[in-house]
Chain A
Amino acid sequence: MNIITLRLKEQPAVPLEVEVLSPDVLKNLSHAEICAGSIQLGKRQRRIDDFFEVEGERSDQLEIHGDISRLKWVGRSMTGGRITIHGNVGMHLGAYMQGGSIEVHGNAGDWVGAEMSNGLIHIHGNAGGQIGAGYRGSMKGMQDGAIIVDGSAGLEIGMRMKKGTIVVGGPAKDFAGLDMKGGNIVLLAGAEIRTGAWMMRGTIISLTPIPLLPTFHFSCSYSPVFLRLYANFLSKLGISIPVDPKAGHYHLYSGDTSVPGKGEILIWRPLETGQIPRTTGCTKVDS
């Protein structure tokens, strides 16, 4: 298969803004044109081949090797194709993305998939904060698509997100789902404090107990039906969440009542030994 391969040969002294590294820009370019592609280094115009060894041409499959943690805006606004990065990548990866996929074998910086409207981003390492978030001042963050982080994540992930899925394998920091308007955040290893602050709508699922704000109220303990369908969707992304009522159930907390919002936080509670499993359905229990 025809692939464009870029190998970093020189670490830039200052961060580089490389929205040019996107299948939309490169897919119809010849090798020479890709080499000549312009990159802004501070106030100077530089060429792609000043920093990269370039192989291949005319492809929407882009492979980048090397530690590009100083390169920002890789895959900005891309509408299709695929970017694979072997190494760490800098801020704003896949921001405003509209389609296609990005896979990172390494860590990513802040604002991964910020305000994306579709597509898939998979980070095998850790990611920074504001994943799938709305930029400062924006009314809404990601509007669809999926972001999967195998490792940990930083602050304010899914801030003001409207739709779509964010899955974090490791622990997330404070303010996961801040001012969330919709969509789902799955926390496989929980989060630090103030999860779901100001959330209006949307669902945050945590597989481990997390500290909750006092403005979230316990509603019930149940096995949500929608979660079985959602688990099917997640399994296609390689994520598995427990949905078997024989193994446990979810505690539903609603909030954030300080807004007041209609969001929900679901926290998985495995059955303790000797506990009788419940069938599907909602049962009120005292909190």
Chain B
Amino acid sequence: MRITGGKVYDPAHGVNGVVKDIFIKDGRVIDSPVEGRTIDARGMIIFPGGVDVHTHVAGGAINFARAMTPEDHRRTTAFIRSQTTRAGIGGMAPTTFATGYLYAGMGWTTVNEAAVAPLSAKHTHEELRDVPIVDKSCCVLLANNEILLDLLQDGECEQAQHLVAWYVWAAKAYGVKAVNPGGVAAWKWGKDTGQMTEPVVGYSKLTPAKIVSGLAQIIDELRLPHPMHLHCNNLGAPGNLATTLETMRSLEGHRAHMAHLQYHAYGGDDWNSMRSEAPALAEYFNTHPNFTADAGAVLFGDTVTITADGPWQHLLYKLTGRKWGNIDVENETGCGIVPYTYRPNNLVNAVQWAVGLELLLLIDDPWRIYLTTDHPNGACFWRYPEIIKLLMCSDFRKECLSQLSTKALKRIHLAEIDREYTLYEIATIMSAGPARALGLPQKGQLGTGADADLVIYNEDDDVQQMFGHPRYVIKGGEIVIDEGEIRATPPGRGLLVKPSYDETIETFLRPKFEDYYTLSFDNYPVEMERVEQPIFNNCIESP
């Protein structure tokens, strides 16, 4: 296949809107002309396919959210079964097949399921198999795993490293996620963690700070391609900037990916005095290149919040009086689900909406901050084009600012920011950057040898329209979306990594399973057969 005459944006190769031809053979981009179909892309814009570094699309939590929100299923778009597509529904927590269609329909071709409890890894992979078109990776939750915490408390770093590697492989995961380190373990006692340097409930010396730095150290030692994927302590709480900065300081010398940074950049003492501290956080972030982050931006409207952060979800339930789901994942982690509506006239929500955009605009390097909404927490992923418009058009931002209260305007900085993203920068935050952060050299770029995942837009001044309705989406060299029609639904591939570990860790673990787990040790690891078209990525040379 050849694509001719399109304006190409490929930040990984510094290609900024250059008209050039792209040749595709056997699912990859090649550098010499080939036979086959020619797509005339004159007047069109070509991006590498989108990469979502942080989303929740499969597994126990999102499935619980689906079950908890029948009211949304009634009002949302239905996908009717056809020759190419399976039935499904969109909405706040789309069903598996619909998730694949919606992502691909928007030009995203790789997604990272950011939170998988090892115990529900089999479930997650079963669901990921049913998310068509897009390639998938997942991160395994470890920062509240009591077996690991015991080892970290006892200073058994080497053993802990083998354990982490074993869990990553057992869950057929790609990276490691830390959620509210220590806080979810404390939740089992009905508590949360207060300070970074105070021992976690149930432990004598282990503090959240030690868990964070210990885990980051292990992940660097294991040379996992994706750094520690960190959801900091005190998510969503007014004044949590201090915790976020303290966490980041404790990570000096290590790589880390800060998940949904928007939820961690607040000032103030309580809900009434909550304000944006995005400038302070962005300033620190800009000068510390060991971090990457995703925005976790908020858009106004209905959604459902899901996270492994059990204590936070209980608080949110108490604040809203909405439905609350809580899943206890044995000694591994927790999980909470609360449907939520972000409203512009709500002070806290207005601040959250602004902080997400402020971080995206104030962090200078688009290679280090990525477009996400922490789907479905801040907003649903299919609303990304709205965020792109907010980033590219300061006039539109000002228009949106006018619906906020004057009280809210005093708590945020968005009105003072004039920066407008260019298409090149959008290509960086939606594709090239997250692909690099995930350590996926074959994604997020259109150079020779890259996976032929790309999206072609009709150039349009209305960027929301343009990004919401690609002219073509090509996945693995196959046209999957053509003028809004789903043409093909190839299965997506599973992205894996196999860190090395000492097999004797299993003799250590087996009795623990007999003592603490409801699942037998032999039945626990996810079998290779459950992962669809596995692709192995190598561990990196040096962190």
**Chain A residues with Cβ under 8 A from B71's Cβ?**
135-139
Of A136, A137, A139, the most chain B CB neighbours within 10 A belong to A137
Give Cα distance in the complex from A136 to B71, angstroms: 7
Per-residue interface assignment for chain B, residues 270 to 303, with 1 indicating a CB less than 8 Å from any chain A CB and 0 otherwise: 0000000000000000000000000000000000
Mark contacts of A134-169 with chain B using CB atoms, 8 A cut-off: 1 yes-contact digit, 0 otherwise.
011111000000000000000000000000000000
Interface residues of B (CB under 8 A from A): 68-72, 74, 322
Given contacts A136-B70, A139-B322, 11 further A-B contacts (CB under 8 A): A135-B70, A135-B71, A135-B74, A136-B71, A137-B68, A137-B69, A137-B70, A137-B71, A137-B72, A138-B71, A139-B71
Q: Can you name 13 A-B residue pairings with CB atoms under 8 Å?
A: A135-B70, A135-B71, A135-B74, A136-B70, A136-B71, A137-B68, A137-B69, A137-B70, A137-B71, A137-B72, A138-B71, A139-B71, A139-B322
Residues of A contacting B72 with CB < 8 Å? 137
Give the distance to chain B from A72, nearest Cβ to Cβ, in Å: 15
For this complex, into which size category does the number of interface residues on chain A fall?
Answer: under 10
Q: A residues within 8 A CB of B74?
A: 135
Give every chain B residue within 8 A of A138 (Cβ-Cβ): 71
A139 to B68, CA, bound (A): 12
Interchain CA distance A135-B69 in the complex, whole Å: 11
Interface centre among B71, B72, B322 (most CB of A within 10 A): B71
- Give A232 to B74 CA distance when docked, in angstroms: 38
Instruction: State how many angstroms separate the Cβ of B367 from the closest Cβ of chain A.
Output: 42
Residues of B within 8 A of A136 (CB): 70-71
Proximity string of chain A (73-98) to chain B, C-beta cutoff 8 Å, 1 when within and 0 when not = 00000000000000000000000000
Contacts of A135 in B (CB 8 A): 70-71, 74
7 shortest A-B CB distances, which residue pairs? A137-B70, A137-B71, A138-B71, A136-B70, A137-B69, A135-B71, A135-B74
Cα separation A138 to B69 with both chains bound (whole Å): 8
Distance of B491 from chain A, by nearest CB (Å):
28
Q: With a CB–CB cut-off of 8 A, which chain A residues contact B68?
A: 137
Q: How far is the CB of B75 from chain A (nearest CB, A)?
A: 10
Cα A135 to Cα B70 with chains together (Å): 9
- Bound CA span A138–B71, Å: 5
- Among residues 119 to 143 in chain A, which have CB atoms less than 8 Å away from a CB atom of chain B? 135-139
B241 CB → nearest A CB, Å: 33
B residues within 8 A CB of A139? 71, 322
CB distance from A40 to the nearest CB of B (A): 13
Please give, as numbers and ranges, the residues of chain A lying within 8 Å of B322 by CB-CB distance.
Answer: 139
Closest Cβ neighbor of A200 among chain B residues: B321
The docked-state distance in angstroms from the alpha carbon of A137 to that of B93 is: 14
Q: How far is the CA of A139 from the CA of B71 in the complex (A)?
A: 8
Residue of B nearest to A140 (CB): B71
List, in ascending order, chain A residues with CB within 8 A of B70's CB. Answer: 135-137
Docked pose: A136 CA to B72 CA in angstroms: 10
- Give the Cβ gap from B111 to chain A, nearest Cβ, in Å: 27
In angstroms, Cα B70 to Cα A139, docked, is: 11
How far is B69's CA from A137's CA once the two chains are assembled, in angstroms? 6
The smallest beta-carbon distance between A133 and chain B, in angstroms, is: 13
**In the complex, how many angstroms separate the beta carbon of A136 from the nearest chain B beta carbon?**
5
Q: Which of A211-254 contact B (CB under 8 A)?
A: none
CB distance from B342 to the nearest CB of A (A): 15
**Minimum distance in angstroms from A36 CB to a CB of chain B:** 22
Once the chains are docked, how many angstroms separate the CA of A138 from the CA of B70?
8
Q: B279 to nearest A CB, angstroms? A: 37
In whole angstroms, how far apart are the Cα atoms of A139 and B338 in the complex? Answer: 13
Shortest Cβ distance from residue B339 to the other chain A in the assembled complex, whole angstroms: 9
In the docked arrangement, what's the CA distance between A135 and B74, Å?
A: 10
Rounded to whole Å, the gap between the CB of B107 and the closest CB of chain A is: 32
How far, in angstroms, from A137 to B70 measured CA to CA in the complex? Answer: 5
| B514 shortest CB reach to chain A, Å | 40
Q: How far is the CB of A7 from chain B (nearest CB, A)?
A: 32
Report the separation of the CA atoms of residues A136 and B70 in the bound assembly, to the nearest whole angstrom: 7
User: With the chains together, A239 CA to B74 CA distance in Å?
Assistant: 35
A77 to B: closest C-beta gap in Å: 12
